[in-house]
Amino acid sequence: MWPETDRVKTLALDVADWPGHRAGQHVDVRLTADDGYQAQRSYSIASAAGGPRVELTVERIDDGEVSPYLTEEAHTGDRFELRGPVGGYFVWDPDPHGAVFLVGGGSGVVPLMAMIRQRAANHDAVPTRLLYSARSWEDVIYRDELERSRNHGEGLEIVFTLTREQPPGWTGYSRRVDRELLSEVAPTELALTFLCGPTPFVEAVAESLVGLGHAPSRIKIERFGPTGG
């Protein structure tokens, strides 16, 4: 396990008989207490396919049921049950002649990071742009890795918007993703868009993209709900 931010941790799991997965898929995690009480939540897989372990990135939700356990109580050697991987709709499978637009709000960046890692592992050349909305620089998950990726070229561009506070000298976007911001950032080519995050965020972004002329069938959405606690 390792921290990504103050509230977010990545857990690396050894999973017996893991069949492999595709970037973008998720697992359902089930915890059982010793009196039989159970709780279940879905978490996106953060790692690219083929790695030795399955990595899940979990954000601690205050008053959550499962996330406080996974981020604060669980330690190496603990066990829980997984179902999956599931999800063939929201997976990295780009048209090599197109472009890809990844839009993530908060922990919605997790499956998008799996896609970015998969893209790197595959040496995919498809031009890809990530728009990542976070509350502050301290809340950016995978911050160092994203900064390194952005500086390596290889057709991956990363745009951050920090909606609540920005570090000194910040020249990037500092507001919620709106239609105007999208008109400046979304690729103008016929891109395939993967959009992930809390429902209000993704539905507002999807509506704006459609308003800008993006075809709804080219926008794939994965909503994270309040049940993700």
Whole-angstrom distance, CA of residue 197 vs CA of residue 134? 11
Min CB(222)–other proteins separation in Å: 5
Pick 72 or 189: Cβ nearer other proteins: 72
Whether 229 and 63 have beta carbons less than 8 Å apart is answered as: yes
Which residue in this structure is represented by tokens 């890795």? 145
Whole-angstrom distance, CA of residue 171 vs CA of residue 159? 11
Whole-angstrom distance, CA of residue 126 vs CA of residue 12? 28
Helix (H, G, I), strand (E, B) or coil at 72: helix
Min CB(144)–other proteins separation in Å: 28
Chain positions contacting other proteins, by CB under 8 A: 26-28, 30-34, 37-39, 42, 63-65, 69, 73-74, 78-81, 83-84, 86-90, 198-200, 203, 220-223, 225-227
Pick 187 or 198: Cβ nearer other proteins: 198
Min CB(186)–other proteins separation in Å: 19
Pick 174 or 227: Cβ nearer other proteins: 227
Min CB(102)–other proteins separation in Å: 16
Which residue in this structure is represented by tokens 């960046």? 109
Helix (H, G, I), strand (E, B) or coil at 28: strand
Pick 120 or 204: Cβ nearer other proteins: 204
Handedness of CA 158, 159, 161, 166 (dihedral sign): positive
Pick 75 or 152: Cβ nearer other proteins: 75
Which residue, 92, 120, 228, 109, is CA-closest to 161? 109
Which residue, 110, 103, 91, is CA-closest to 43? 110
Pick 42 or 149: Cβ nearer other proteins: 42
Min CB(16)–other proteins separation in Å: 11
CA–chain centroid gap for 202, Å, is: 12
Whole-angstrom distance, CA of residue 181 vs CA of residue 214? 15
Min CB(152)–other proteins separation in Å: 30
Pick 150 or 220: Cβ nearer other proteins: 220
Min CB(14)–other proteins separation in Å: 13
